[in-house]
Amino acid sequence: MISSCTGSSSTASTVYGIFYILSQHTRRYRTPQPSPMFAVTDMCAQANTDYTENMNHQGGRRVPNPYAGSENYNCFGCAPHNKTGLRMEFVRHDDGSVTSDWEPRREFEGFPGVVHGGIQAALADETAAWMIHAVLGTAGVTKELHTRYHKPARFEDGPFHIEARETGREGREVEITVTISGRAQGATNALDATSAQGASNPGVTDGTLFTTAVCRFAIFSADYARKRLGFPGAEAFEPGPEAFDPGGEDVDPS
């Protein structure tokens, strides 16, 4: 076809022009483009190292749920009366981390015998939110959640041990890294792990890391969170943390 076109210079120019355009498109699609997820990959890799260094720490106190009994409270993550929810409970530790030992139920299944990935993301997000409550003494809203699934979290590996800790702060945003591991031995949830005197054993994991999530939250002053988000105040999370002042001006999340 090309040889039949070479008799006309204008036609040949047109054909060569088409081939040139196609070659440029092909080259563009074949050129690797930088991905913002590379930064998240680095964060997850660092989180894996931090997890190995910090796993199996002992001690802590159960975090009370001051929302329980409140009107219109039916949180999927932490409402104890929500029959279809996760019904999570939490323990706060002296190192600034918050943990939860969670027993999976079959309604949270993805592939047969595996906890659904979306449920794992919800576990991470909820634990991060309660770290803000119990450690920073305020409330926030999720801006980003990047999740890496290392291996299937099977029901037989539960109860699962979820741990959240602050790994970065910039202005009014806080980065919290959450790990989900198995198995939490000796306790099926945070409430069972805590005595009336406040001593606790949050569960000892077997070292198997299933999921790492890097969460970024926009946080608000305690006064604003109390007025607009229904936050009960840092003192409600006895022993209450000192309320964190993010500085600057609060922006309505709605």
Tokens of 122: 């919800």
Over the chain, what is the mean pLDDT? 76
Distance of CA 36 to the CA centre of its chain: 18
User: In terms of domains, do 132 and 92 share one?
Assistant: yes
| Burial category of 212 from C-beta neighbours within 10 Å (exposed 0-12, middle 13-18, buried 19 and up) | buried
Indicate whether 117 pLDDT > 70: yes
Q: Which domain holds residue 91?
A: 37-236
Indicate whether 76 pLDDT > 90: yes
Q: What is the pLDDT of residue 15?
A: 42
User: In terms of domains, do 1 and 72 share one?
Assistant: no
Determine the average pLDDT of the residues in 176-186. Answer: 83
CATH for 100: 3.10.129.10
User: In terms of domains, do 211 and 90 share one?
Assistant: yes
User: In terms of domains, do 136 and 18 share one?
Assistant: no
Q: What is the pLDDT of residues 159-175, one digit of tens each?
A: 999 999 999 999 999 99
- Report yes or no on 153 lying in a domain: yes
Structure pTM?
0.68
Q: What is the dihedral of CA 41, 44, 50, 54, to 10 degrees?
A: -170
Determine the average pLDDT of the residues in 142-158. Answer: 96
User: In terms of domains, do 16 and 102 share one?
Assistant: no
- Report yes or no on 74 lying in a domain: yes
User: In terms of domains, do 49 and 147 share one?
Assistant: yes
User: In terms of domains, do 189 and 64 share one?
Assistant: yes
Q: State the pLDDT confidence band at 36, using cuts at 50, 70 and 90.
A: very low
User: In terms of domains, do 69 and 22 share one?
Assistant: no
- Report yes or no on 52 lying in a domain: yes
Q: State the pLDDT confidence band at 185, using cuts at 50, 70 and 90.
A: low
Indicate whether 177 pLDDT > 80: yes
Indicate whether 31 pLDDT > 80: no
User: In terms of domains, do 139 and 188 share one?
Assistant: yes
Q: State the pLDDT confidence band at 183, using cuts at 50, 70 and 90.
A: confident
- Report yes or no on 117 lying in a domain: yes
- Report yes or no on 208 lying in a domain: yes
Determine the average pLDDT of the residues in 106-116. Answer: 97
Domain count for the chain: 2
Q: What is the pLDDT of residues 190-221, one digit of tens each?
A: 334 333 333 334 445 677 999 999 999 999 99
- Report yes or no on 48 lying in a domain: yes
Q: What is the pLDDT of residue 248?
A: 60
Q: What is the pLDDT of residue 237?
A: 86
Q: State the pLDDT confidence band at 27, using cuts at 50, 70 and 90.
A: very low
CB atoms within 10 A of CB 14: 12
Q: What is the pLDDT of residue 121?
A: 99
User: In terms of domains, do 139 and 160 share one?
Assistant: yes
User: In terms of domains, do 7 and 53 share one?
Assistant: no
Q: What angle do CA 237, 238, 239 make, to 5 degrees?
A: 120
Distance, CA of 9 to CA of 57 (rounded, Å) = 78
User: In terms of domains, do 24 and 66 share one?
Assistant: no
Tokens of 137: 């003494």
Distance, CA of 223 to CA of 97 (rounded, Å) = 24
Distance of CA 35 to the CA centre of its chain: 20
- Report yes or no on 61 lying in a domain: yes
- Report yes or no on 242 lying in a domain: no
Tokens of 129: 């939110």
Indicate whether 18 pLDDT > 80: no
**Under 8 Å between Cβ of 91 and 98:** yes
| Higher per-residue confidence, 23 vs 63 | 63
